[in-house]
Homo-oligomer: A and B are copies of this chain.
């Protein structure tokens, strides 16, 4: 038995440095629009999530809210280790602990953290050669029991431009 883990990078946000507190930097209007289109497309493809775990940063939380508004999930929880540079071992342990039959969980966060998390789950160590664009998505199939690190299957990785027409 497996579960599915979707890693979603936040949409296009304002320029780094525009906000004194980077955690408050919001999505731009274009970022909101494109993220809405991505969320709509995920629904058309039949996807939904039992829960969303998100970085508490504004641009990530807004992205999670857009997924929720599109009807893809009823639950959003923040997870502090999804902040940029957060401790990935704790993130992985958090996901490990909520595993249940047929769980589909979406994790919303930042780069390079998410692609490093993905490569750790797939190959057992961090790798720089996965490209995750803003509002892009990675889909992993993971075992319901036992070790997650190095035991997840990559079945999807897409930038918005190859998802939207």
Residues of chain A having any CB pair with chain B under 8 Å: 44-45, 119, 122-123, 127, 129-131, 133, 139, 141, 150-159, 161-162, 165
Contacts and interface: CB of A to CB of B under 8 A. Distances in A.
Nearest to A122: B129
Nearest to A46: B161
A139 B157 CA distance: 9
Nearest to A159: B155
Specify how many copies of this chain sit in the oligomer.
2
Is the contact region of chain A dominated by helix, strand, or loop, or is it mixed?
mixed
Contacts of A157: 154-158
A141 B131 contact: yes
A131 B154 contact: yes
